[in-house]
């Protein structure tokens, strides 16, 4: 900086403003000297002093040369002045002006070098600043920088959105005035006082989102901090996933406990009772076998879900272009004993030429789950329809039943793991509560989704929406 200042002074001293006051007096001196010389020559001629004439001529020549040199210097300085003005506004390298005066030419070259150096440095600083600004904007966290007086010095877009700040409207304003979150004021104050503050979990805004707020003191030298950097990490999704995992573990334990208790209870009874008739033995072993089957189904469903949720599923699953009608017919055939027993008629409405890129096994499983539910909840002697049709860019496979229907308040939870409208009845019917969650995941690995439309008393329609083109990841 000191260099730049001294350089600036040098440049200023060269400008016409600095040199102008000296010019008129020099000009006057030269004019007076020329007039005196002319008078001297006239007097010498009149008085007949020819010997002094060469001296007068020499003085005259010197004066003339000096005047010419001075004129050249003035022109050079003027060119230099123009050059300095140009350098003030120009950001690309400049060529120094060609001037007659060697000193001024050296000075112009020095100014050109200084300008080039300054331009390179400014360009680099601007690029670094832009990089930093872009990094702060794309970092994915909310960032705020405040000084010791709690004035906001910097805020990125996420912080602006989070606290409802207008872009740049926060600059220099008090944190307390712009951010109405007492927990954050307190965190910043503590950081300014004690330097080290552990990150805290805060619910911000309408308390629907959870943030991990970390504060870091900013120092420009030794001693107390000059400011605080506040970093806000949105951990809402993480916390939600953790809650889901905890719920899932609790639900699994709950689901496993009943069949295991039943198996143990009946097996112990069989062991303890001395006299058992055949009918009792058959009844107890039947209950044990039924509970073992329930356990096996549950474990099978849990394994299927965990596979579908793992990143490995996207890598290992194979998708082939296959006609859809035969997959549906196969499922209907497998469930025929059940539908026959209850006189339920399954009608298939599917264009036999319709093919989709699918994983046959998984699509078969999704249709099985939907059809099993439809049969389970349908009255005896009713009809179940499986309808496949184009729907915009996708294909919709729907399973329609004439069952009791589902109240709208349950619709958004039906595809959650272990959700049942009536848990006891669902268990009695052999349901694991995972069937629809599996259907949703199968739809998603195909790049589609699953949904429901249902009205109480008018039956239900569960559907798979599958892309007509290539499924995701292929």
Q: Is 326 left (phi over 0), alpha (psi -120 to 50) or beta?
A: alpha
Token code pair at residue 4: 């730049």
Place of tokens 């109405």: 180
Binding mask 316-355 for ligand ADP (x = CB under 6 A): ----------------------------------------
Residue 464 in contact with residue 439, Cβ under 8 Å? yes
Residues 393-412 that bind ligand ADP (CB under 6 A): 401, 403, 406
What is the C-alpha to C-alpha distance for residues 394 and 448, in angstroms, rounded to an integer? 8
Binding segment toward ligand ADP, per CB under 6 A, in 191-199, 264-272, 315-323, 427-435: 427-435
Among 435, 447, 448, 471, binds ligand ADP (CB under 6 A): 435
Least CB distance from residue 300 to ligand ADP, whole Å? 12
> What span, in angstroms and rounded, lies between the C-alpha atoms of 335 and 428?
19
User: Nearer to ligand ADP by C-beta: 152 or 400?
Assistant: 400
| Of 63, 66, 68, 65, residue with least CA distance to 37 | 63
- Beta strand pairing status for 345-349 and 383-391? parallel
Q: Does 463 bind ligand ADP (CB under 6 A)?
A: no
| Of residues 398 and 460, the one with the C-beta less far from ligand ADP | 460
Contact call for residue 259 and ligand ADP (CB under 6 A):
no
Could you tell me if 292 and 259 are in contact, meaning their C-beta atoms sit under 8 angstroms apart? yes
Is 152 an interacting residue with respect to ligand ADP (CB under 6 A)?
A: no
The least CB distance from residue 303 to ligand ADP, in Å, is 16
Q: Quick check: 112 binds ligand ADP (CB under 6 A)?
A: no
> How far apart, in Å, are the Cα atoms of 116 and each of 77, 81, 94, 111, 394?
21, 17, 7, 9, 61
**Beta carbon nearer to ligand ADP, 313 or 378:** 378
Residue 389, C-beta contacts closer than 8 angstroms, at least 6 positions apart: 349, 395, 396
Of 460, 463, 465, 471, the one binding ligand ADP (CB under 6 A) is 460
How many other CB atoms are found less than 10 A from the CB of residue 410? Answer: 13
* Residue number with CB closer to ligand ADP (87 or 346): 346
Least spacing, CB of residue 251 vs ligand ADP, in Å: 12
Rounded Cα gap, residues 231 and 186, in angstroms: 14
C-alpha to C-alpha distance for 283 and 39, rounded to whole angstroms: 150
- 432 touches ligand ADP (CB under 6 A): yes
Choose, by CB under 6 A, the member of 313, 359, 426, 465 that binds ligand ADP. Answer: 426
Least distance CB 259 / ligand ADP (angstroms): 14
DSSP output for 249-266? HHHHHHHHHHHHHHHHHH
Q: Looking at 365, 373, 398, 465, which residue binds ligand ADP (CB under 6 A)?
A: 373
Write down the least CB distance from residue 317 to ligand ADP, Å. Answer: 22
- Is 97:82 a contact under the CB 8 Å cutoff? yes
C-alpha distances (whole Å) from 3 to each of 6, 114, 189 are 5, 10, 40
* Binding status of residue 461 toward ligand ADP by CB under 6 A: no
Pick the stretch among 16-24, 144-152, 350-358, 367-375 that binds ligand ADP (CB under 6 A). Answer: 367-375
The residue within the footprint of ligand ADP, chosen from 44, 59, 421, 468 (CB under 6 A), is 421
Shortest distance, CB of residue 410 to ligand ADP, whole angstroms?
7
CB of 421 to ligand ADP, least distance (A): 3
Whole-number Å distance between alpha carbons of 320 and 109: 73
Cβ(362)–Cβ(317) under 8 Å? yes
Helices (H), 212-359: 236-272, 278-309, 311-316, 324-334, 336-341
Instruction: Report if residue 436 touches ligand ADP, rule: CB under 6 A.
Output: yes
Residue 377 contacts ligand ADP per CB under 6 A: yes
Q: Name the nearest CA neighbour of 370 among 330, 334, 413, 400.
A: 400
Of the pair 265, 405, the CB lying nearest ligand ADP is at: 405
Task: Write down the least CB distance from residue 358 to ligand ADP, Å.
Answer: 21
Q: Does 227 bind ligand ADP (CB under 6 A)?
A: no
Q: Applying CB under 6 A, which of residues 115, 420, 441, 446 lies at the interface with ligand ADP?
A: 420
- Interface residue list for ligand ADP (CB under 6 A): 369, 373-374, 377, 401, 403, 406, 414, 419-422, 426, 431-437, 460
């Amino acid at each position: 900086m000191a260099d730049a200042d001294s350089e600036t002074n040098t440049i200023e001293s060269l400008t016409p403003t600095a040199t102008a006051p000296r010019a008129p007096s020099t000009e006057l001196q030269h004019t007076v000297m020329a007039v005196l010389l002319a008078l001297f020559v006239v007097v010498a001629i009149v008085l007949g002093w020819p010997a002094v004439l060469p001296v007068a001529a020499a003085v005259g020549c010197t004066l003339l040369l000096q005047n010419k040199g001075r004129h050249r210097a003035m022109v050079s300085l003027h060119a230099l002045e123009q050059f300095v003005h140009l350098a003030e506004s120009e950001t690309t390298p400049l060529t120094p002006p060609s001037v007659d005066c060697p000193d001024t030419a050296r000075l112009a070259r020095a100014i050109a070098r200084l300008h080039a150096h300054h331009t390179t440095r400014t360009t680099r600083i601007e690029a670094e600043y832009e990089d930093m600004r872009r990094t702060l904007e794309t970092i994915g966290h909310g960032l705020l920088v405040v000084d010791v007086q709690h004035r906001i010095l910097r805020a990125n877009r996420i912080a602006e959105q989070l606290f409802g700040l207008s872009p740049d409207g926060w600059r220099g304003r008090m944190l307390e005035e712009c951010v109405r979150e007492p927990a954050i004021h307190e965190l910043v104050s503590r950081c300014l006082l004690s330097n080290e503050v552990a990150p805290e979990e805060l619910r911000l805004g309408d308390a629907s989102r959870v943030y991990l707020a970390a504060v870091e003191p900013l120092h420009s030298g030794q001693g107390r901090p000059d400011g605080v950097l506040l970093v806000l990490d949105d951990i809402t999704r993480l916390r939600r996933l953790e809650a889901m995992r905890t719920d899932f573990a609790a639900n699994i334990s709950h689901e496993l406990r009943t069949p295991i208790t039943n198996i143990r209870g009946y097996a112990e009874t069989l062991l303890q009772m001395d006299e058992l008739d055949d009918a009792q033995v058959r009844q107890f072993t039947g209950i044990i076998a039924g509970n073992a089957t329930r356990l096996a189904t549950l474990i099978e469903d849990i394994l299927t879900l965990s596979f579908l949720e793992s990143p490995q599923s996207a890598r290992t699953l194979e998708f082939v272009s296959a006609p859809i009608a035969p997959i549906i017919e196969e499922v209907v055939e497998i469930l025929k004993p059940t539908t026959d027993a209850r006189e339920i008629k399954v009608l298939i409405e599917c264009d036999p030429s319709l093919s989709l890129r699918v994983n046959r096994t998984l699509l078969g499983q999704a249709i099985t789950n939907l059809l099993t539910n439809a049969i389970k909840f349908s009255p005896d002697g009713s009809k179940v329809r499986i309808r496949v049709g184009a729907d915009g860019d996708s294909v919709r496979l729907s399973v329609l039943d004439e069952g009791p229907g589902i109240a709208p308040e349950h619709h958004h939870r039906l595809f959650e793991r272990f959700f049942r409208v009536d848990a006891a009845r669902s268990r009695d019917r052999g349901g694991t509560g995972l069937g629809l969650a599996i259907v949703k995941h199968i739809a998603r690995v195909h790049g589609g989704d699953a949904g429901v439309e249902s009205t109480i008393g008018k039956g239900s329609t569960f559907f798979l929406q599958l892309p007509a083109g290539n499924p995701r990841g292929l």
